[in-house]
A and B are shown apart, each in its own frame.
Chain A
Amino acid sequence: MRLLSFISLLLLFHPLAAEPLDMDEYLYGHVMDSYEWHITTVKGHPVSVPLPVIVYSRQSGWHCFSSKHLEEGEEFEGFFIAPKGAAHEGKVMEHTPKGDIRPLDISITKNVAGLMFNSFVLVLLVLLGVRWYRRHDAREEAPGGFTGLVEMLVMMVEDDIIKPCVGPDYKRYSPYLLTAFFFIFVNNLLGIVPFFPGGANITGNIAVTFALALFTFLAVNLFGNKHYYKDIFWPDVPLFLKAVPLMPLIEIIGLFTKPFSLMIRLFANILAGHMMILGVVAVIFLTAELGAAMNAGLTVIAVVFGVFMDLIECLVAFLQAYIFTMLSSVFIGLSRQHPEQEEQTKKP
C-alpha cells in the first residue's frame, strides 16, 4: 500500500502528456503486419528495425531495398506505402502510368522476421533437446533437465493427442503434428513477450493460420483412404439423400469448414488475446487526461488486469496449440478410418 501511494504521489507531480491516444493506430499498429519492426519511440522519434522490402514489378522487375526508404510516406524507386484511407492501406504500392497498382510483394515484414526468429528458436530448442539422445543410450537411462522437459512435452502431445486421435498409423503423421504443436506453441508464447524480438502477432495473423490449416487440409485429404472418400461421395444414407447430392454436398462443404474452423479459431483467439492486453494497457494512457489520482488508481487496476491477462494468454498459448493439434489429429484420424475397426470398437 505504501508503494502504491508513493507511485500515485509521483504521478501527481508528473507533467502529464495531454497528447490524445489514437486508439486505432495503437491497436492495429501492434497486431498488424508492417514493413519495419517498430520497437519504441524515444522523444518523438520512432526507434525501429528496418526490414528488407522485396517486390516484383511488371515494369521494372525485382526490387529489394530497406524499408527505411519508405518511412513517412516517402517514395523510393517508384514504390511507396499506401496512405491511410487509400486502397491497400499500409501496403507497398507502385506508381505506374496506369495508376497505382499493387506489385507482387514478398517483403520480409515484421511478421516474417518474427516468424524466422521464432522458427530459429524452435529448431534450436528441439535440436538441443534431442542432442542428448545421440550421446546416450535411452534404453539405459532417462534424460533430465531440458531434454527431460522436451521429452515430457513431446510424449504428452504424442501419447495424449496423436496416438488416440489418429489411430494405428499415427507414426506417419506424428512429425507433422508435433511440428504444428510446437510451432504454434512457441509462436504463441513469443507473441506474448512484449519487447523485441518477441511480440509480433504471428499466430494472430490470418495468413499464418491459413497456411497451418492448409497443411492440415493437405495431410487429411492427400492421404485419406477409400473409406473416407466413399463416406464423402457415397455415404451410408438413404438413396434419396445421395441421388439429389445433398449429403455429398454437405460432406464436401465439411471438407473445407474443418480447416477453416482451425484457421479462424487460432487466429481469433490469439488476436483477441493481444487486443485484450493492449486494451488493458491502453487504459493507463487513456485515463491520463482524467487527473493524477484517477489515472493512478486505474493504472494499478490496469497492471493487475494486465498480469491476469498475460497469465490467461500463457494458458491460451498452450491451449490453442493443443486444440489445433488435437483437431488436426482427429481430422486425420477420420480420414484413416477403417470400417472393420469401427465395428471392433463398437462391439464392447
Chain B
Amino acid sequence: MSLITPDFGLLFWMTLIFAIVFFILAKFGFPLLTNMVAKRQERIDRSIADAREIEARMKTFAAEQEAALAEARRTQAELLREASETRSKIIAQAKADARAEADKILAEAKVQIAAEKESALRDVRKEVALVSVQVAEKVLRHELSDESSQRAYLDKLLDEAAQVPLKS
C-alpha cells in the first residue's frame, strides 16, 4: 500500500459518504441553524433600532413637554399680569367713580344746604321781621298811647333821619 496514491475503493466510499453527509446536513442541519440565528440577529437589530427610535421620541417628547411647560408658565405670568393690571384699573376706576359720585353728592348737598340755609335765613328774617314788627307795634302801641309820647317819638325819628347822612 502506497502512502501517496489515492486508493479507488476509499475514494469511491469517501465521495459517497461525503455526498450523503453533505445532503443530510445541508438539508436538515446547518440552514436551520443559520437561518434561525439570522432571524434572531435581525430581531435584535430591529429591537435596538426600535429602542433607539423610542429614545429619540422620548427626547422629543421631553423637549415638547419642556416647551409646553415654559409656554404655560409664560401664559400664567401674562394672565397674572393682566389680572393685576385689570384689578388696579378697576380699583382706579372705582375710586374715580366714587370720588366723582362723592363730589356730585357733596355738591348737591352744598347746594341743598345753601338753599336750606337761604330758606331758613329767609324764614328767620321773616320771623324776625314779623317779631320786630309786632314788637315795634307793641312798643309803638305802648309808647304812642298818648299824644306827647307820640310827638316825642316823631321828633326823635326825625332827628335820627336828620343825623343819617344820605347815601347814594
Contacts and interface: CB of A to CB of B under 8 A. Distances in A.
Tell me if B's interface is mostly helix, strand, loop or mixed: helix
A255 interface: no
B30 A174 contact: yes
Interface string B119-148: 000000000000000000000000000000
B145 to A, nearest CB: 146
A90 B5 CA distance: 13
Contacts, number: 130
A190 to B, nearest CB: 14
A127 B26 CA distance: 11
A208 B15 CA distance: 8
A123 B24 contact: yes
Given A115-B17, A133-B32, A154-B34, A205 B40 contact: no
A119 interface: yes
A158 B34 contact: yes
B162 interface: no
Range of interface residues on chain B?
Answer: 20 to 34
Interface residues of A, number: 54
A106 interface: yes
A142 B43 CA distance: 12
Contact of A106 (B13, B17, B24, B28): B13
Interface of A: 28, 31-34, 54, 89-91, 104-109, 111-112, 115-116, 119, 122-123, 126-127, 129-130, 133-134, 138-139, 142, 150-151, 154-155, 158, 171, 174-176, 178-179, 182-183, 205-208, 210-212, 214-215, 271
A134 B9 contact: no
A285 B4 CA distance: 28
A167 to B, nearest CB: 16
A176 to B, nearest CB: 7
B36 interface: yes
Given A116-B17, A139-B39, A207-B14, A126 B6 contact: no
A111 B8 CA distance: 12
A37 to B, nearest CB: 14
A112 to B, nearest CB: 4
Given A32-B1, A105-B8, A208-B10, 7 more contacts: A31-B3, A105-B7, A109-B10, A112-B9, A155-B34, A183-B18, A214-B15
